């Protein structure tokens, strides 16, 4: 999961992939996800998105990713083939690329 504000990813938290076929799909552990949402609602860090890898594919959202992209505004950081690319859900099932730069104080996006 990715935490931060409008300009910076300030913290990354790993969560277990509980998908039935984790080598092909990902599903964030619902307990970890709901815990982050509850914490945010109680004044904790803002969860702005999540990350996952594509071990055998490009760093672009897959068809499965697009099918799962329901939360408009959320970020998806996809790691694949030695690179990270950042995407924003702009409408259900559709992404746009977001510029990503690494900084000592976090992952900045523009």
Q: Where are the alpha helices (DSSP H) in the chain?
A: 30-41, 63-68
DSSP-based three-state secondary structure for 62: coil
pLDDT-derived band at 6, boundaries 50, 70, 90 = confident
- The mean pLDDT of 102-109, rounded to a whole number, is 62
For residue 27, count CB atoms less than 10 angstroms from its CB and return exposed for 0-12, middle for 13-18, buried for 19 or more: middle
**Predicted local confidence at residue 109, as pLDDT:** 54
The H or E element that residue 109 is part of is strand 106-109
pLDDT digits (tens, 9 = 90+) for 17-60: 999 988 888 899 999 999 999 999 999 999 999 999 998 889 99
In this structure, are residues 89 and 72 in contact, taking their beta carbons and an 8 Å threshold?
yes
Query: Which domains does the chain possess?
Result: 2-15+47-109 (3.40.140.10)
**d(C-alpha 87, C-alpha 109), whole Å:** 10
pTM: 0.85
**Predicted local confidence at residue 57, as pLDDT:** 87
**Predicted local confidence at residue 106, as pLDDT:** 52
């Amino acid at each position: 999961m990715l935490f931060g504000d409008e300009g910076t990813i300030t913290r990354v938290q790993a969560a277990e992939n509980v998908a039935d076929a984790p080598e092909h799909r990902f599903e964030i552990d619902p307990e970890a996800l709901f815990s982050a949402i509850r914490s945010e609602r109680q004044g904790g860090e803002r969860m702005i998105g999540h990350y996952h890898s594509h071990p055998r594919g490009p760093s672009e959202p897959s068809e499965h990713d697009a099918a799962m992209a329901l939360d408009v505004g959320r970020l998806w950081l996809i790691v694949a083939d030695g690179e990270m690319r950042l995407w924003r859900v702009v409408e259900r099932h559709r992404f746009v690329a977001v510029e990503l730069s690494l900084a000592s104080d976090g992952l900045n996006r523009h």
